[in-house]
């Protein structure tokens, strides 16, 4: 049956569930990219969501006013994803999920193209964005907080290229939207876990960041500091060290902390490179005594959590974020609000007993 135009765009998750003849819980799992749903059911839910305009449909490929878009014979569309290169296992997993977008978003003819660039150099990132933008239908990228990057985004938007930030946002920029968790809340969550695990006793804790050039890492630090100050004033934060998301640097930083502070009670790893922290804790023989909280559920962190060296991993869903970045770019190019039909991703907490 057709649907009145007045109702289009107002669908809810309940409407999608009714249309697909599944439960609202199943719809939630599909739209949030969680596992455990059969492929045929996923396809049924996505078709229902598109029919109800809950997801961008074919009209998302229509050019927005004032811009000429070559859609090609099959309306094929490829978006560009700019990610930091290196040993960051979460970024590598995100790249894999981007490579699966053509299948994930079928029957929509959408795919993703990944560009790895030096992760901590704003000038390199800005130049890469301008270069990629010369021949791009839309760009999603992990932002560095820097005027060079902000200006590159402004130039791209003025040229008609849609831009969204991914995982880490860019303040004061002309980007259309941000796809990722609330990093300040993620930092507060880490502080809450560390404080609860350590318990009501005084002691020293430390932080290791990837780079505070990432707004996401800076926001995690702010959230962590605030909740420790508010709720756990007896915990003394003895310093913040940058490990550049590199396991070897994190290993050296953790070894130094353990040597300098024999009574260290906790470590919060703000970025990637958790393997280095874990190896240092294991080698020191203090893995059972130092509480270790970090981010993302990857092959490295999963092993550390199973082993008991890492107490908790605060994660986000790379599959969901890759899909939502495409949906956001399609929304912008269809003249919709960037966040139309997109639910902000949830922060997920994993410990040894609930690993998927």
Question: What is the arithmetic mean of pLDDT over 121-128?
Answer: 96
Helices (H), strands (E): how many in the chain?
A: 13, 11
Cα 14 from Cα 18, distance rounded (Å): 6
Cα 231 from Cα 188, distance rounded (Å): 10
Question: pTM of whole model > 0.75?
Answer: yes
Instruction: Kindly report, residue by residue over 146-183, the tens digit of the pLDDT.
Output: 999 999 999 999 999 999 999 999 999 999 999 999 99
Q: Give residue 249's pLDDT.
A: 94
Q: Sheet holding 139-141: strands in order across?
A: 110-117, 77-84, 139-141, 163-166, 177-179
Helix, strand, or coil (residue 282): helix
Question: Residue 29: which residues within 8 A CB-CB, separation 6 or more?
Answer: 36, 37
Instruction: Kindly report, residue by residue over 249-299, the tens digit of the pLDDT.
Output: 999 999 999 999 999 999 999 999 999 999 999 999 998 999 999 999 999
The yes-or-no verdict on residue 73 having pLDDT over 80 is no
| 105 — pLDDT class (breaks 50, 70, 90) | confident
Cα 338 from Cα 303, distance rounded (Å): 37
Instruction: Kindly report, residue by residue over 8-65, the tens digit of the pLDDT.
Output: 345 777 888 888 888 887 887 777 666 677 767 877 888 788 778 776 544 433 333 3
| 322 — pLDDT class (breaks 50, 70, 90) | very high
Q: What beta strand segments (E) does the chain contain?
A: 77-84, 110-117, 139-141, 163-166, 177-179, 203-209, 235-242, 264-269, 291-295, 312-315, 348-350
Cα 50 from Cα 239, distance rounded (Å): 49
Contact 313, 297 (CB under 8 A): yes
Output Rg (C-alpha) for the chain, integer angstroms: 22
Domain spanning 183-315: which CATH class is it, in words? alpha beta
Domain assignments of the chain as residue spans, ordered by start: 13-51, 67-180+318-342, 183-315
Cα 119 from Cα 237, distance rounded (Å): 27
The yes-or-no verdict on residue 203 having pLDDT over 60 is yes
Question: What is the arithmetic mean of pLDDT over 88-107?
Answer: 92
Cα 276 from Cα 210, distance rounded (Å): 12
Crossing angle of helices 122-133 and 147-158, in 10° steps, is 10
Q: Sheet holding 203-209: strands in order across?
A: 235-242, 203-209, 264-269, 291-295, 312-315, 348-350
The CATH number of the domain covering residues in 67-180+318-342: 3.40.50.2300
Question: Residue 326: which residues within 8 A CB-CB, separation 6 or more?
Answer: 79, 101, 105, 110, 112, 140
Choose among 195, 190, 158: nearest CA to 174: 158
Question: What is the arithmetic mean of pLDDT over 99-115?
Answer: 90
């Amino acid at each position: 049956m057709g649907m009145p135009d007045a109702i289009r765009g107002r669908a809810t998750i309940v409407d999608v569930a009714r249309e697909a003849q599944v439960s609202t819980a199943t719809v939630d799992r599909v739209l949030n990219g969680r596992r455990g749903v059969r492929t045929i059911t996923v396809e049924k839910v996505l078709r229902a969501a598109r029919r109800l305009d809950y997801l961008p449909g074919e009209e998302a490929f229509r050019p927005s006013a004032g811009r000429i878009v070559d859609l090609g014979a099959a309306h094929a569309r490829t978006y560009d994803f700019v990610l930091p290169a290196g040993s960051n296992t979460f970024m590598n997993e995100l790249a894999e999920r981007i490579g699966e977008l053509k299948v994930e978003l079928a029957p929509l003819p959408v795919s993703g193209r990944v560009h790895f660039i030096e992760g901590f150099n704003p000038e390199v990132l800005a130049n890469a964005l301008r270069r990629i933008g010369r021949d791009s239908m839309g760009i999603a990228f992990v932002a560095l907080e820097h005027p060079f990057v902000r200006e590159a985004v402004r130039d791209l938007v003025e040229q008609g290229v849609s831009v969204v930030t991914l995982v880490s946002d860019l303040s004061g920029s002309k980007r259309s939207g941000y796809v990722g968790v609330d990093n300040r809340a993620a930092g507060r969550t880490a502080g809450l876990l560390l404080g609860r695990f350590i318990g009501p006793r005084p002691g020293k804790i430390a932080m290791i960041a990837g780079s505070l050039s990432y707004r996401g890492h800076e926001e995690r630090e702010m959230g962590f500091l605030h909740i420790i100050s508010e709720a756990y004033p007896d915990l003394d934060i003895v310093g913040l060290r940058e490990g550049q998301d590199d396991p070897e640097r994190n290993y050296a930083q953790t070894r130094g902390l353990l040597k300098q502070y024999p009574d260290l009670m906790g470590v919060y790893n703000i970025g990637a490179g958790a393997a280095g922290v874990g190896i240092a804790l294991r080698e020191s023989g203090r893995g059972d005594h130092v509480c270790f909280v970090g981010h993302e559920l990857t092959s490295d962190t999963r092993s550390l959590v199973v082993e008991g060296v890492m107490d908790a991993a605060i994660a986000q869903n790379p599959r969901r974020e890759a899909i939502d970045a495409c949906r956001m770019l399609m929304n912008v190019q269809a003249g919709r609000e960037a966040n139309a039909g997109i639910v902000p991703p949830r922060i997920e907490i994993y410990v040894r007993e609930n690993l998927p």
